[in-house]
Amino acid sequence: MSDLRPRPLDGITVVSLEHAIAAPFASRQLADLGARVIKVERPGQGDFARAYDTRVKGLSSHFVWTNRSKESLALDLKQPAALAVLKALLAKADVLIQNLAPGAAARMGLSFDALHALHPRLIVCDISGYGADGPYRDKKAYDLLIQSEAGFLSVTGTQDVPSKAGISVADIAAGMAAFTSIQSALLLRAKTGEGSHIDVSMLEALAEWMGFPMYYAYDGAPPPPRAGASHASIYPYGPFPAGDGGTVMLGLQNEREWAVFCEQVLGRADLLADPRFASNAQRNAHREALHTEIVTAFAALSTPEVQARLDAARIANAHMNDMADLWAHPQLAARQRWQGVPTPAGPVQALQPAGRSSAFEHRMGAVPAVGQHTTAILRELGCDEAQIAALRAARAV
């Protein structure tokens, strides 16, 4: 039986000129909340993220992740007839999202100023690498490049080798900023009746996430060192080997936990009197010596035994899972967080959005094929069969 309770964004129509990750991630989350999201793609090929890989039954892992619950409208926006279709669609839309190349949307007459004059309630969200102005405005921006510009690489990796994140953190940060900003703009429009312009910069979104290391290095202070999987300034906090070859991730936050760790986990109450470990600052300064003490104590224990001691002492710890472990995570299974969604290649499992609500169920709709909804949307806009056939003959759709 389907859930008929209203969702927060039911009745909101979002048109998205999107590709890659940042804009699709933002619009998918709007779709999760009930918005109708119409994804505009190039005829035939579609969003180039469709071709990133073929790991999900022949479909792209990135695309399946960020594009469920959407309608796909194929338009060649270089053709006036296709651009006219888009502009007719915008007349009925609430939100336009775009992450095209810098200046591309404006050249098509899709700047906020141009659209606001015609549709004052329309919210326009532009996502770019560096923002709508400033000396970096026209620079190309990919996730790794923004990780570098935002200082992320300077604090990630080991002392010898800086490392990028294993996921697209700059794109995700920008997508989250766009998602929350659009919701705020919808709330504001409910008060003022006016749409607004949102300018999301990947650099600024990731720079916000860099708040801790920036303030740690405030006023010329030394920045946090690259510490691999360990914490840069708290110790012990990170991975430690057990005697069976496994790895335990653990973290201590205060002096009470340090005392319990020594007494109940390591069986080394004598370490509490060692001046090298008398405070977090001292433990951090002497982390190599403390690492040796911990590894020596853990060498006689299996991974489950170490974790059992940590749990008994109420010391935070975790498995170091791989992707297979995450798919099979018992906590996600127990909370029933997986749900099947249709795709052009058949159903796949998808993780429900974080933030389970008592008021509604998130939408978990299909991942569309390229142009799957083109004909239906054209009919909705009033095109007859002859007009649709002409658009197809011209390869405008």
Q: Scanning the structure block, which residue is given the tokens 């923004």?
A: 146
Is the pLDDT score of 341 beyond 90?
A: yes
Whole-angstrom distance, CA of residue 97 vs CA of residue 21: 13
Three-state DSSP at 22 gives helix
Residues of the chain with pLDDT > 90, as a percent, come to 94
Is the pLDDT score of 2 beyond 80?
A: no
Q: Catalytic residue numbers? A: 171
The type of residue at 258 is W
CA nearest 200: which of 116, 112, 118, 113? 112
Domains and CATH numbers, the chain: 13-211+335-393 (3.40.50.10540), 237-320 (3.30.1540.10)
Encode pLDDT of 138-153 as tens digits.
Answer: 998 999 999 999 999 9
Encode pLDDT of 39-89 as tens digits.
Answer: 999 999 999 999 999 999 999 999 999 999 999 999 999 999 999 999 999
- The pLDDT, as a whole number, for residue 361 is 96
**In whole angstroms, what separates CA 27 from the centre of its chain?**
11
Contacts for 340-343 with beta carbons within 8 Å, 24 or more apart?
A: 341/68, 341/69, 341/365, 341/366, 341/367, 342/366, 342/367, 343/56, 343/57, 343/59, 343/64, 343/367
Whole-angstrom distance, CA of residue 114 vs CA of residue 147: 33
What's the token pair of residue 337? 């967080």
